[in-house]
Structure 1
Amino acid sequence: MTDITLAPDSIVGDIAARLPGAAEVFRRAGISFCCGADSGLAEAAEKAGVALPALTAELQALIDNAGRDAPAETPALIDHILSRYHDTHREELGWLIGLADRVEMVHGDHDEAPLGLTEALIALRDDLESHMAKEETVLFPAILQGGGAMLAGPIRIMRAEHQDTAELLRRIEHVTHGLTLPVGACGSWTALYTGLRKLCDDVVAHIHLEEEVLFPRVLAS
């Protein structure tokens, strides 16, 4: 479960950044959560011509299922975060940056070209690498040694860095026009956006698992 609540004035950008799967729900509904990040749910639904109850129900289903499969034991949960997210982010960013650079160079004169995407992905890579290194060398070992409530300070820093990461995801969403492919997009462009959709959704799931499961568990121990 998660402590995210849904109300007519709940901010779309906050939901997309914190709830795994919400970004894809908003994309399908035609709701922007980068440029329209400060819009409330009701306002965003009205602009997109979407029924608010149906949108809220779909998001609530995501909340109900969030974190259910998280390992019950903290060492196993950390191992899962390392293998499922840290290793995967590094691998995927490696090839996505090269592919983004190629698409920008080949299609830079297209009206819907994702100009600035390579730069945004490099910024995300550097942001995540710094953050994950702190977790791997300092925070996670301290958790496994039983730091408990004494880790409130480092965890507070990690939460702040998560907000920076969320801003970078919004930047990627913006320069790719909501990860919307133009008509007749080539295979490289299609593969790029498919990979980006997974990466961005994975990063949100990664942050959620730490914010809503790991950190509260540690601070309560």
Structure 2
Amino acid sequence: MTLANQSLGQLARDLPGATAVFHKYKLDFCCGGSRSLTDAAARKGLEAAAIEAELRALQPAAANQQQLTALNTKELIEHILTRFHDVHRKQFPELIRLSQRVERVHGDHPKCPAGLSAHLEQMRDELEMHMQKEEQILFPMIARGVGGIAVAPVQAMRHEHDDHGAALDRLVDLAHGLTLPDGACNTWQALYRGLDTLKNDLMEHIHLENNVLFQRVDGQIGGAHHG
């Protein structure tokens, strides 16, 4: 199978550095991870062959990747909790504080991200509810190996991931593509740096759950059907 025929999620999972290429071309490898590279590129009016060439240049590093996919399920869940759940809970309060300040001080600027702080508060609340459901219900279920019972909660979490992806798109729109105006103050610069980090972290978080952890549940079901 050529790289162009593989799904974005599979490439992001198996090829180190692929996510940076997808970020560059604004290809959604987390919520849209089931689309092939060819299909995803066509939807954006991009040349799949050029993107495939960039991905091929990454392949020599692939032999060193497999760290996350090689983790057992409990280790993978622990990594997700530490690297993403804990981190998001630290990111949002500061980003909300910074956005409120920028909106207060620069409200008359045409590039002011009006409405951003309220949107971040809504994102924080929805993501917190989502993470609690994973921590209290779904992750313990997966860790116990009860894949069949976990199918419906996994589907629900995938749908919520789509909502988080849409919220990220809205965040970028409110922040004018995360493009700073000339002469932006330090607070504004810090805000957009933080938003960019949040965006990349949340996309990586969703990818790891959708395309690695949840795939293991899907695989258990496939195995049960064929057994």
Regarding TM over 0.5, the answer is: yes
**Does 2:199 match 1:211?**
no
- Per-residue CA deviation, residues 156-183 of structure 1 (Å, 9 max, x unaligned), is 0000000100010000010111100111
Aligned to 1:9: none
**Does 2:3 match 1:4?**
no
Following superposition, the deviation at residue 144 of structure 1 comes to 1.3
Following superposition, the deviation at residue 23 of structure 1 comes to 6.2
RMSD: 2.9
Instruction: From the superposition, tell whether residues 183 and 58 of structure 1 become closer, same or farther in structure 2 (CA, over 3 Å).
Output: farther
**Does 2:85 match 1:98?**
no
Give 1:41's aligned amino acid. Answer: A
Instruction: From the superposition, tell whether residues 160 and 174 of structure 1 become closer, same or farther in structure 2 (CA, over 3 Å).
Output: same
Partners of 1:207 and 1:110 lie apart in 2 by 34
Partners of 2:103 and 2:8 lie apart in 1 by 37
Give 1:152's aligned amino acid. Answer: V
Q: Which runs of 5+ in 1 are unaligned?
A: 6-18, 28-38
Aligned to 1:85: 84
Partners of 1:78 and 1:40 lie apart in 2 by 29
Instruction: Describe how 1:135-150 pairs up with structure 2 within 5 A.
Output: 135-150=134-149
- Per-residue CA deviation, residues 29-50 of structure 1 (Å, 9 max, x unaligned), is xxxxxxxxxx96357457xxxx
Identity %, equivalent residues: 43
Aligned residue pairs, count: 193
Aligned to 2:41: 41
Task: Pick one of 61, 67, 70 that aligns with 1:69.
Answer: 67
When normalised by structure 2's length, the TM-score is 0.75
Aligned to 2:117: 118
Give 1:168's aligned amino acid. Answer: A
Aligned to 1:175: 174
CA contact (8 A) 1:124 1:168 kept: yes
Following superposition, the deviation at residue 150 of structure 1 comes to 2.3
Partners of 2:176 and 2:58 lie apart in 1 by 24
Instruction: From the superposition, tell whether residues 127 and 21 of structure 1 become closer, same or farther in structure 2 (CA, over 3 Å).
Output: farther
Give 2:76's aligned amino acid. Answer: L
Partners of 2:49 and 2:128 lie apart in 1 by 39
> Is the partner of 2:111 in helix, strand or coil?
coil
**Does 2:199 match 1:200?**
yes
Larger Rg: 2
Aligned to 2:36: none
Partners of 2:21 and 2:123 lie apart in 1 by 20
> Is the partner of 2:183 in helix, strand or coil?
coil
Instruction: From the superposition, tell whether residues 43 and 153 of structure 1 become closer, same or farther in structure 2 (CA, over 3 Å).
Output: closer
Give 1:213's aligned amino acid. Answer: V
Q: Give 1 or 2: higher helix fraction.
A: 2
Following superposition, the deviation at residue 218 of structure 1 comes to 2.3
Aligned to 1:34: none
- Per-residue CA deviation, residues 138-162 of structure 1 (Å, 9 max, x unaligned), is 0011111121122111100000000
Instruction: From the superposition, tell whether residues 157 and 208 of structure 1 become closer, same or farther in structure 2 (CA, over 3 Å).
Output: same
